[in-house]
Every structure is written in C-alpha cells, then in structure tokens.
Amino acid sequence: MRSARILLAAVTSVAVVSLSACGIGGSGDSGSQSTANDGPVTGDVTGTISFETWNLKAKYSDYFTGLIKQFEQQHPGAKVNWLDQPADGYADKLSADASADSLPDVINLSPDFAYPLYKKKLLLDLDKAAPDAAKDYLPNAWQGNVMPGQKDNYAFPWYLNTGPYFYNKKLFTDGGLDPNKPPTTYDELAQQGLTLAKNTNGAFAMLGQTPQIEDLGLYGVDLMDPAGTKFTFNSAKGVKLVELYKSMYDAKALLPEALSATYTGSGKKFLAQQVAISSGSAYDLQTFRTDAPSLYANVGITAPMTNTGHANMYVQGLSVAAHSKNKATAIAFGRFVTNAQNQMAFAKIVTVFPSTAGTLNDPFFTQDDGTDIGRVRVASAKQLANGINYTPVQLSDQMKTVLRNELANAMLGKSTPQQALDNAVNQCNQLLGH
C-alpha cells in the first residue's frame, strides 16, 4: 500500500528531496570549537542563535513568533533569529550551508535529511550533549532519530504523523466482503483482494499501488543489515510480499495503471471510487465530504495493514549544528520548542502529533469530537504509541525509483519477484557505494 510521507508536508505541500544526492560537503571540524560530541554541553543560555524551519512561516507565523518571544523572555540574554526556507530548494539550501560550514544553530530535519549531515559530522550527538533529554520523549520517537549502526540520537523529536487507511464500505459489499472487517495484515489484503476481483470481474480494484519500501518493513522484511550498510530486502519474506501483489495484479485486484510512470496515485483513484482501499489523512476525509459525497457516506477508517504489529511512523526533528557557537542556547531552545506544552499547542493548530512522553494520552488524542479531523486524529494517535519509522534514511529518491521500476517488471512478468528484488537490492547497494 502507498505510505506517503504524511507530515506537515500534507499541509504545506513540502517537496521531499534526498540530500544524499546534493553533494554535501563540510570538513566536519572547523577547528573553531571544542570537540562537538565529547560530553554534556553546559553553560549559560545566552547569545544569538539561528533557527531554521521548512515552509512554516506562511501559515504558522503567529505560533513561532510567540514561541520565540516566550523563550527570550525566559532567557533575557538569548536571542533567536528565525529563518524559514521554502519547500522548493530546501535540500539545496542545506547542502550549500553544509559546504560553507554555516548551518543554522537549530535545524528542522527529517531523519533522511539529517543522515548526510551526520555522516559529515555536522550535527551534535544529543545523547552525549543532552544526556537527560531522552526521557522526555516517546522511546520510538527518540529512536527514530538514531542514525544507522549507532546508539546515539542526532535530533530532538518534534512532530510525528502516521496515515490511517480509508476503505469504501459499498465497494467492499459489492465485492462480497464484510464492510465491517477490513484487512489488518497484507495476507488478509491479498485474500480479500482476490475475492473482490473474482466477484466484480474487474469493475473496480482492491487497491491502486504497488508496494513501497515501507510496505516491506510493515510486512516484517529486514530492509538492511544490522549495521545499516547494505540493503537486504530481497529475502524470502520480501519475495512473498511481492508474490502477493503479483497475484492481485494478475487477478485485476491491483489497478493495472498503477504501473504507469504518469500514474496520478491511489488517492485520486480512491476518490473516484475505482479502488476500495487507500492510505490518506484527515485532509482527504474533508475532500471526500466536499468533492465526493457518495464516497464520504461510505468511508470506513482503519489502521494500516501490518504483519509486525507496528504502524509506520513519520518523524520530524530539531537538530543542533555541531559547530554552533552557542550550543547551550541551541540545545535549550530545541528542547523548549519540543517540550510537551509547546508540542501540544502546535498539534492543536496543525494535524500532527507530539513526540513527548505521555502527551498522546491527552483526551484531545483519545476522545473523538465528532469532526472529520477528530475521527482521524484519534485513529492515528492509537498507531503512534508503538509506531516505527520503517524507511531507511539511506534510501534516496533514485533508489525509490529503482525499486518502483523493478517491482513493475515483476507485476508485468518481465522478471520473477526474486529477480526483481535482487536487481533492486544490487542497484541500491551500488548507489550506496558497494
């Protein structure tokens, strides 16, 4: 199933570009600072720091302006300069700053954006610099910012998200399925998909997307070796998942046009009631209400399919530049922005979820208020308590394209599922330098 990055990007249409392809430079040690990761950072919270976000100023200026003002009032000797970059070109801007050794003090990064900066030793190891911080956050959110093969974290967890799945109860009924029992595992998805296809003779499909890397993780496939140095998703379990999708494709339970390079995505096909199940967000539910009332009347909400018992979790964080001249202030501000009170306030104006320990137990996340956003919020919050960020931070956009193309070959019978995954793994490992 499609598991697109459903973060604040769903609100701001953030373009996701892999930094690993941007030629990030930087010496990793300018010589102007003491060793960046040698222990706890101490000192007065004073001096000027820069704080960079990603396409947030247009809609959330009041929130961040107030947040900065409050921090500066609590620390009279500190000043925060807020920098907000547009979605387009954010990766290039980070790359240029990294090459010039001029990264902002506090930087809004997702784990895949943090990875190439971490490799160049441009980010502060927060497990060492702020050893008392981890307890304030959900363990899985803290772990989501731990780099491959490491035990240490390179970002304070900020907001989280996860995608519920929508299904069309009428199409389930028309396909001979129980509208009150949507699939909970990929094996159930395939079984129900084949039943639906048999009963409808291709009038509509069960789903409209070939598997992505998250699906392999949700199925229980080991995506990389323990050290995070090589991709390993061409295992027997990975092959089994591709075989399930192949069986659905052959039976027309998987929309054939999903293999097209110009495909518009399963979300639009779900809106057009051409597929019976698709991932989405609260904003999709609002769209169904206004643009497809007949669909909205029959929409069910369910947790994502998973064979591991853990939903997919999307993570954003705040990293601290290793060469910040005011590390104590940068750390204090990063923790301030991501504390429980401020994350809760942010979650109430944006459809995201806090990463702080215990906050998801608040009634705001456990009690349905009857609204569309409320329905999805409660359903999603349940998934985040033990969610996992399955997507390897090493996976570039080029590698995603490789996987998509090889899986299309498997669906079309141009290669076996094993050959397709072998080809994808080999090409991805070559791109990693192996």
Report strand pairing: 106-109 vs 314-320: antiparallel
pLDDT score for 18: 35
Q: Which amino acid is at 363?
A: P
pLDDT score for 296: 94
pLDDT score for 6: 39
What is the arithmetic mean of pLDDT over 393-398? Answer: 89
9-161+314-383: CATH topology is D-Maltodextrin-Binding Protein; domain 2 (3.40.190)
Higher pLDDT, 372 or 211: 211
Instruction: Look up the pTM and report it.
Output: 0.84
pLDDT score for 271: 94
pLDDT score for 417: 98
Residue 406 contacts by C-beta under 8 Å, 6 or more apart in sequence?
A: 415, 420, 421, 423, 424, 427
pLDDT band at 411 (very low <50, low <70, confident <90, very high): very high
Q: How far apart are CA 257 and CA 301, in angstroms?
A: 25
Does the pLDDT at position 375 exceed 90?
no
208-239 pLDDT, tens per residue? 999 999 999 999 999 999 888 999 999 999 99
| Percent of the chain residues past pLDDT 90, beyond the cut | 69
Does the pLDDT at position 109 exceed 90?
yes
Average pLDDT, the chain: 88
CATH class of this structure's domain 165-310+396-431: alpha beta
**Cβ count near 184 (within 10 Å):** 15
Contact (Cβ atoms closer than 8 angstroms) between residue 380 and residue 366 = no
Q: Which amino acid is at 179?
A: P
39-85 pLDDT, tens per residue? 899 999 999 999 999 889 999 999 999 999 999 999 999 999 999 98
320-345 pLDDT, tens per residue? 999 999 999 999 999 999 999 999 99
292-319 pLDDT, tens per residue? 999 999 999 998 889 998 999 999 999 9
pLDDT score for 89: 81
| Percent of the chain residues past pLDDT 70, beyond the cut | 91
- Domain boundaries in the chain? 9-161+314-383, 165-310+396-431
112-139 pLDDT, tens per residue? 899 989 999 999 999 999 999 999 999 9
pLDDT band at 26 (very low <50, low <70, confident <90, very high): very low
Q: How far apart are CA 98 and CA 103, in angstroms?
A: 6
pLDDT band at 143 (very low <50, low <70, confident <90, very high): very high
Domains 9-161+314-383 and 165-310+396-431 fall in the same CATH topology: yes
Torsions phi, psi for 233 (to 5 deg): -80, 10
Does the pLDDT at position 149 exceed 70?
yes
pLDDT band at 37 (very low <50, low <70, confident <90, very high): low
Residue 271 contacts by C-beta under 8 Å, 6 or more apart in sequence?
A: 284, 287, 288, 291, 292, 295
